[in-house]
Amino acid sequence: MTVLASRNESHHPAIGRGVGTRGAEGGRLLDTMVSRAQWPRLIGNLSPGDPLAATFVAPDDYRTYQVKGVVEMIAPATDEDRAVALAYHRQIHRLLTSLGVTEGQIRFWLTDSDLYRLRYRPTDVFVQTPGPRAGSRLEPRP
């Protein structure tokens, strides 16, 4: 599961959900797919150079990481991007229903309507898994 936050010029936050992420440019950048129709404020706040936060959580074991990044590009999703989102839909749907989440609880946000690709450069990764390490910075391997 992926949730994202941007902020406007007066530093008020906006929230959105991501529906699929892949590495880009040899893993130096990340692409996360977002429905603009559903999360207009999240997208509306973002231009290249703006800060972005994305939290990724594994629903089955609560492993959680937050990526801080800087936006490189925002563009309507290509067919290739949409394929990433649809593959994510299938995967997360299977996982969540196996955990007892109902169809109705998922359907509202698992969408590819008005899909956009957010490309951003990660600057920091923090552990957010509940527990003593929550909040610590993930250091790159030496």
Partner 1 sequence: MTGVPLRDLHACFEGVIPSIIATVDAAGVPNISYLSHVHYVDDDHVALSNQYFTKTSANVRDRGTAALIVVDGRSGRQYLLDIAFVSSHREGALFERMSDHLNAMSSRQGMSDIMALRSADLYRVLSCEAVPAVEAGEEPVAAPPDAGARLAAAARLAGAIARDADADAMIDHALRSLAEDFGFPHLMVLIPDDSGTRLTVIASRGYDSPGTGAEVGLGEGVAGTVAATLRPLRLADMSRGRRYAEAARIETPVPRAIPYPGLAEPLSQMAVPMISRGELTGVLMAEAQTRFAFAREDEDALALVAGQLGAALALHDMATEDEPAAKPAPDRIAGPRIRIRYFPYDDSIFIGEDYLIRGISGRLLHHFLRLHLDEGRSDFTNRELRVDPRLRLPEVKDNLETRLILLRRRLDDHAAPLRLLRPERGRIRLEIGGIPEIEVVT
Cβ proximity of 36 and 43 under 8 Å = yes
- In the chain, % helix, strand, coil (3-state, to 5) comes to 20, 40, 35
User: From the list 19, 34, 43, 53, which residue makes contact with partner 1 (rule: CB under 8 A)?
Assistant: 53
Is 95 an interacting residue with respect to partner 1 (CB under 8 A)? Answer: no
User: From the list 11, 26, 79, 140, which residue makes contact with partner 1 (rule: CB under 8 A)?
Assistant: 11
Q: Alpha-carbon dihedral of residues 43, 46, 47, 48, nearest 10 degrees? A: -110
Is 127 an interacting residue with respect to partner 1 (CB under 8 A)? Answer: no
User: From the list 23, 25, 28, 37, which residue makes contact with partner 1 (rule: CB under 8 A)?
Assistant: 37
Is 137 an interacting residue with respect to partner 1 (CB under 8 A)? Answer: no
CA 86 to chain centre: 14
Residue 67 vs residues 90, 108, 138: alpha-carbon distances, Å = 24, 25, 10
Q: Which residues are near partner 1 by CB under 8 A?
A: 3-7, 11-15, 35, 37-40, 51-55, 57, 62, 64, 66, 68, 99-111, 113-114, 126, 128, 130-132, 134-135
